[in-house]
Amino acid sequence: MSGRVHRLTVRVYYEDTDFSGVVYHANYLRFLERGRTETLRDAGLDHASLFAAEPPLALAVARMEIDFRRPARMDDLVEVETRVAASGGASLVMHQRLLRGDDVLVEATVRVAAVSRGRATRLPAGLAARLAG
């Protein structure tokens, strides 16, 4: 991943796994969401403040492409890497990876859309630059 990369360490708990001790596929989305949320926080932003602003702003997942490469297992420590790859008028594209050491477990490309009062809206000036670092 090139550019500014945010890293978040996450432990895999029993509740994240299926009966065999492997992370249930839908739970990877939760790990990736945490990575995107903490990327916002690291840039001095948070979902609650964006939504409380006038006009209110939400960043909603509009598209996600995900490749499951290897399983994470109960009690693993994994790292979520997140970076802004591109920005448009009303959306951001983020590339994310979930790693255990040097092993890439999951790769995802996520497009988040700026939404205000149920409609697409332009990203606030400078938001993408703040996230890209």
Active site (annotated) includes residue 18: yes
User: Cis link prior to 56 (omega < 30° from 0)?
Assistant: no
* 2 pLDDT higher than 60: no
> Which pLDDT score is estimated for 1?
45
pTM for this structure? 0.92
Note the pLDDT tens digit of each residue in 19-42: 999 999 999 999 999 999 999 999
Dihedrals φ, ψ of 101, to 5°? 65, -125
Which pLDDT band holds residue 3 (cuts at 50, 70, 90)? low
Q: Please give the CATH topology (third level) of the domain spanning 6-132.
A: Thiol Ester Dehydrase; Chain A (3.10.129)
* 81 pLDDT higher than 60: yes
* 16 pLDDT higher than 70: yes
> Which pLDDT score is estimated for 38?
96
Q: 49: how many CB neighbours lie within 10 A of its CB? A: 11
Averaged confidence pLDDT in the chain = 94
Which pLDDT band holds residue 18 (cuts at 50, 70, 90)? very high
Mean pLDDT of the region 73-79: 98
Note the pLDDT tens digit of each residue in 94-128: 999 999 999 999 999 999 999 999 999 998 888 87
Domain boundaries, the chain: 6-132
**Closest of 66, 63, 74, 75 to residue 105, by C-alpha:** 66
Catalytic member of 16, 18, 42, 46: 18
Which residues are CB-contacts of 53 (< 8 A; sequence separation ≥ 6)?
A: none
